[in-house]
């Protein structure tokens, strides 16, 4: 079975632009979470969705938003990009919400110039 997939793998944007990142969970998984990893640090939680509803939000500004579709795939949107948004964005999927093993995708590397 395929693991978690993310697209695109790499992205270069300029300040002020908008970006959309996509994630497809493992087949049968109903929960998707998004994490941001800045160079040299551990990943930080951004959002979690389960059954198409937001179940958790981390300490990120309103420029960050996400949604989950009926097929359980998800997209993360970031508006008004700042240089500090440059990071590896990781998507994780799990069977359900909470106390479940989370499996991570390969990530999307975003560079904001």
Partner 1 sequence: GIQVEQSPPDLILQEGANSTLRCNFSDSVNNLQWFHQNPWGQLINLFYIPSGTKQNGRLSATTVATERYSLLYISSSQTTDSGVYFCAVEGRGSSNTGKLIFGQGTTLQVKP
- Strands 108-112 and 10-13, sheet pairing: parallel
Cβ closer to partner 1: 58 or 67? 58
Least distance from partner 1 to the Cβ atom of residue 80, Å: 25
**Max alpha carbon distance in the chain (Å)?**
38
Measured between alpha carbons, how far is 71 from 67 in angstroms, rounded to an integer?
12
The answer, yes or no, to whether the previous bond of 93 is cis (omega within 30 of 0) is: no
Q: Examine residue 41 and tell whether it contacts partner 1 (CB under 8 A).
A: yes
Cβ closer to partner 1: 96 or 113? 96
Q: Examine residue 64 and tell whether it contacts partner 1 (CB under 8 A).
A: no
φ, ψ for residue 84 (rounded to 5)? -70, -5
Least distance from partner 1 to the Cβ atom of residue 106, Å: 5
Cβ closer to partner 1: 71 or 99? 99
């Amino acid at each position: 079975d395929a693991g978690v997939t993310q697209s695109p793998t790499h992205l270069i944007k300029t300040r002020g632009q908008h970006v959309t990142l996509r994630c497809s969970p493992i087949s049968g998984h109903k929960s998707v979470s998004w994490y941001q990893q800045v160079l040299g640090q551990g990943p930080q939680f951004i959002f979690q969705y389960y059954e198409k509803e937001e179940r958790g939000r981390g300490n990120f500004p309103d420029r960050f938003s996400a949604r989950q579709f009926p097929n359980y795939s998800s997209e993360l949107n970031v508006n008004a990009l700042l240089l500090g948004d440059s990071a590896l964005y990781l998507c994780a999927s799990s069977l359900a919400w909470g106390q479940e093993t989370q499996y991570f995708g390969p990530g999307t590397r975003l560079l904001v110039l």
